[in-house]
């Protein structure tokens, strides 16, 4: 079974992504495309992220908003960190996120993650991840308005990754859904 490190090793590289977003409440459809780059971070950079974000995590604990299992699990997870920088370029919209995965002590298929958009004042996002038997990665986060955001990523082929993202309110009703198809860019000299 694939683990979180192997999933992101398989994701590393440059991708062309096409997106369709459906706003179910307003009955609107938007389409777009972007270039996406996934870069794995080395263990020193990953440890630096933990050190930088530990203050954010402690603040979330004090506010009762964190789903992490305590600082001890973070320190124990330092041995098995997986971290990446995910950059996108959609013409006028460009940006990058840093994401750090902290697997549970007994499983590399589930745990917590922290994510933050680079060069913004946005708070660090804290969530949970699980890799199912079908080798699809599912991310769960809670938005500021208590909606659950679920993101599911899987490979249809080593060079074709698919992704769905959807928002659910407390009753399970979906507000919007997105579908992505991502095709790996391969240089002609490879």
Domain ranges of the chain: 4-184
Q: Write down the pLDDT at residue 71.
A: 43
Q: How much is the pLDDT for 188? A: 60
CATH superfamily of 4-184: Calycin beta-barrel core domain (2.40.128.20)
User: pLDDT means per 10 residues in the chain (190 residues)?
Assistant: 91 96 94 95 74 64 49 48 88 91 80 84 86 96 87 97 94 91 82
Q: What's this model's pTM, rounded to 2 decimal places?
A: 0.84
Tokens 């986060």 correspond to 141
């Amino acid at each position: 079974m694939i683990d979180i490190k192997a999933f992101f090793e398989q994701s590393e590289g440059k991708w062309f992504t096409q997106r369709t977003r459906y706003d179910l409440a307003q009955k609107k459809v938007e389409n777009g495309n972007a270039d996406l780059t996934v870069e794995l971070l080395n263990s020193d950079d990953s440890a630096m992220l933990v050190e930088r974000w530990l203050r954010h995590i402690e603040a979330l604990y004090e506010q009762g908003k964190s789903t992490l299992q305590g600082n001890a699990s973070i320190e124990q997870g330092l041995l098995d960190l997986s971290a990446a920088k995910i950059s996108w370029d959609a013409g006028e919209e460009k940006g990058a996120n840093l994401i750090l995965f902290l697997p549970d002590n007994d499983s590399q298929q589930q745990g917590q993650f922290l994510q933050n958009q680079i060069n913004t004042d946005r708070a660090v996002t804290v969530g949970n991840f699980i890799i199912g038997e079908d080798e699809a990665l599912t991310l769960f986060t809670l938005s500021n308005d208590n909606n659950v955001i679920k993101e599911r990523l899987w490979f249809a082929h080593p060079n074709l990754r698919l992704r769905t993202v959807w928002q659910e309110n407390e009753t399970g009703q979906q507000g919007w859904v997105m579908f992505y198809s991502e095709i790996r860019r391969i240089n002609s000299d490879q």
